[in-house]
Amino acid sequence: MDGPGGARISGKHHDRVLFMACNRATTTPPTISANGNSYPPDSWTNVPPSILSYLPRKLHLQPSHPVSITREVIESCFPPPTYTHYNDLDPIVSVYENFDSLNFPPDHPGRNRTDTYYLNKDTVLRTHSSAHEAEIFRHNKSAGYTISADVYRRDAIDRSHYPVFHQMEGARMWDRRKVEGGDVARVAREQLTQLEEHDLEVEDPNPTIHPERNPLQAEHHRVEEVEAIAAHLKRSLELMVNELFSRAKRRATGDAAADEPLKVRWVEAYFPFTSPSWELEVFWQGDWLEILGCGITKQDILINANVPNQLGWAFGVGLERLAMILFSIPDIRLFWSKDPRFLGQFSTADDIKPFVPFSKHPACYKDVSFWLRSSSSAAGGGLRSNSQDFHENDMMEIVRDVGGDLVEDVKMIDEFAHPVSGRKSICYRINYRSLERTLKNEEADRLHEGVRTRLVEKLGVELR
């Protein structure tokens, strides 16, 4: 995960993207069936059966699973009746719900087929829990809600990225028609005083509103309203982080670091569906770690959802990243393990203990080097000639499809352009390692051969 939604949602550059690209045609099945519905495939279809097989898993609802325990701790910070908890919304959503309803511009990189799993041109596996915002605002059952959800993104392969992960979303609204004198600012301030105090050390150097970097939605909101709602948002999320991290720290007592106050900082951010927006980072084991995105909900989303008199905040947080910290889980693949040596180590939110790894099995590194296909526009085009053709995520998808959870990570170790033709060569190192057993070299060889064959078949590269 890159944060809750990371570079993908905010529109920042993705450092792993090599080239802007389109997908190559894949063999398209006659129809795609998922969750009891069928979807006619088309030229957008890129979701493999291996990914659809994750839909029934719902780790966020599996009792005693670390992802589910993390959800429970967060839910406990947003209790009913103010907050309704939605935990079983369908991961198959329309492109409209996932992107358009949230103001993603038509050319937003998150919409690319290299980044998102499409069932067909109108239907995707949700890439974030925000896909349900509009629907729940429209439903208007309570002032607030949380959603927990499995979300799907085409991405790199390493110990903290997996094509399926879990997010939690929360929101809180105030209705101008329902508060005395329409004074949402006063009511939100009053409710802020009812929230607990905490002893986190908080850095928050920026103004709530900045005309260029973090603007007020001036046609809809008053400064005092946004100041009050933002203060309520920040305190609510600080309390949540405090709850989670103090559970992780409690068990580390004795350790000098455990006695130091936990440090967090607010950073200005951008999301198409909030303004102003922030990210919250936590100082953990020597690094600043981004754990959530949030902001003041864009008023046009509420207007379109037929609740024009409401305004409020929303946030989204990645559950695996938090669970990895809470339980000291070193590899994101472990969450999918059905091995009792993993699952047997977790019980309830009141008993959070670090995971004890079972023995580390040996790594098996294999390299693959290839020339990218030259595209038809190659003539005189130098390096740019390949730029339409190859996207790293397409290569990752092949490795994942062949190797599944037996691949720990994939790293690019070399890249160069032929001095005369401009044709580009890349070398990747794949680390085959099982979390559960020792992998035989012959097995890794077989997988690697499968990867090589498919790279040629699907991406048209020339092996070196």
State how far the Cα of 161 lies from the Cα of 159, in Å rounded to an integer. 6
CB nearer to ligand PHE: give 45 or 274: 274
Shortest Cβ 170–ligand PHE spacing (Å): 8
349 lines the binding site for ligand PHE (CB under 6 A)? no
Footprint of ligand PHE on 265-294 (CB under 6 A): 271, 274, 293-294
169 part of the interface to ligand PHE, by CB under 6 A: yes
Taking CB under 6 A as the binding criterion, the range among 83-91, 214-222, 245-253, 311-319 that sits at the site for ligand PHE is 311-319
Q: Is 144 one of the binding residues for ligand PHE (CB under 6 A)?
A: no
Return the number of the residue (9 or 399) whose C-beta is nearest ligand PHE. 9
- Using a 10 angstrom Cβ sphere, with 0-12 exposed, 13-18 middle and 19 or more buried, the burial of residue 134 is buried
Contact with ligand PHE (CB under 6 A) among 91, 163, 312, 316: 316
Least distance to ligand PHE from the beta carbon of 296, Å?
9
**Cβ closest to ligand PHE, residue 146 vs residue 431:** 146
> Which residue from 44, 315, 335, 342 is in contact with ligand PHE, where contact means CB under 6 A?
315
Q: What angle do CA 140, 142, 146 make, to 5 degrees?
A: 100
Distances (CA, A) of 463 to 371, 430, 451, 453: 6, 15, 11, 9
3-state secondary structure 280-346: EEEEECCEEEEEEEEEEECHHHHHHCCCCCEEEEEEEEEHHHHHHHHCCCCCHHHHHCCCHHHHCCC
| Residue among 5 and 403 whose Cβ is closer to ligand PHE | 5
Residue 110 binds ligand PHE (CB under 6 A): no
- Nearest CB to ligand PHE, comparing residues 66 and 170: 170
Rule CB under 6 A: is residue 128 a binding residue for ligand PHE?
yes
**What DSSP letter does each residue of 84-151 carry, written as one string?**
EEE----SEEEHHHHTGGGT--TT-GGGSTTTS-EEETTEEE-SSGGGGHHHHHHH--SSEEEEEEEE
Is 9 one of the binding residues for ligand PHE (CB under 6 A)?
yes
CA distance 111 to 245: 34
Give whichever of 149 and 364 is closer to ligand PHE, judged by the CB atom: 149
Which of 134, 128, 172, 135 lies closest to 149, judged by CA?
128
**In sequence order, what DSSP letters do the residues of 170-196 get, joined into one string?**
EEEEEETTTSGGG-HHHHHHHHHHHSP
Q: To the nearest whole angstrom, how small is the minimum distance from the Cβ of residue 172 to ligand PHE?
A: 12
Q: Is 4 in the site for ligand PHE (CB under 6 A)?
A: yes
Q: In 10 A of CB 226, how many CB atoms?
A: 26
- In the complex, minimum distance from the CB of residue 274 to ligand PHE, in angstroms, rounded to a whole number: 5
Considering the rule CB under 6 A, would residue 137 count as an interface residue with ligand PHE? no
Q: Candidates 2-10, 61-69, 71-79, 235-243 — which segment interacts with ligand PHE by CB under 6 A?
A: 2-10
What's the min distance (Å) between Cβ of 108 and ligand PHE? 13
Determine the Cα–Cα distance for residues 398 and 447; give it in Å rounded to an integer: 11
DSSP for 405-462, please give it: GGEEEEEEEEEEE-TTT--EEEEEEEEE--SSSPPPHHHHHHHHHHHHHHHHHHH--E
Cβ distance to ligand PHE smaller for residue 70 or 385: 70
Query: d(Cα 324, Cα 234) in Å, to the nearest integer?
Result: 23
163 binds ligand PHE per the rule CB under 6 A:
no
**Mask of contacts with ligand PHE, 226-265, x by CB under 6 A?**
----------------------------------------
HSE value, Cβ hemisphere, 13 Å, CA-based, for 110: 27
Give dist(CA 331, CA 298) in Å, integer.
Answer: 36
Q: Closest-CB residue for ligand PHE?
A: 5
Q: How far is the CB of 5 from ligand PHE (least distance, A)?
A: 2
Angle in degrees, CA 358, 153, 315, rounded to 5: 95
Cβ distance to ligand PHE smaller for residue 17 or 439: 17
- How many amino acids of this chain bind ligand PHE (CB under 6 A)? 14
- Nearest to ligand PHE of 51, 314 (CB atom): 314
In the bound state with ligand PHE, the residue whose beta carbon lies nearer, of 289 and 427, is 289
- Amino acid letter for position 31: T
Which residues bind to ligand PHE, rule: CB under 6 A? 4-5, 9, 128, 130, 169, 271, 274, 293-295, 314-316
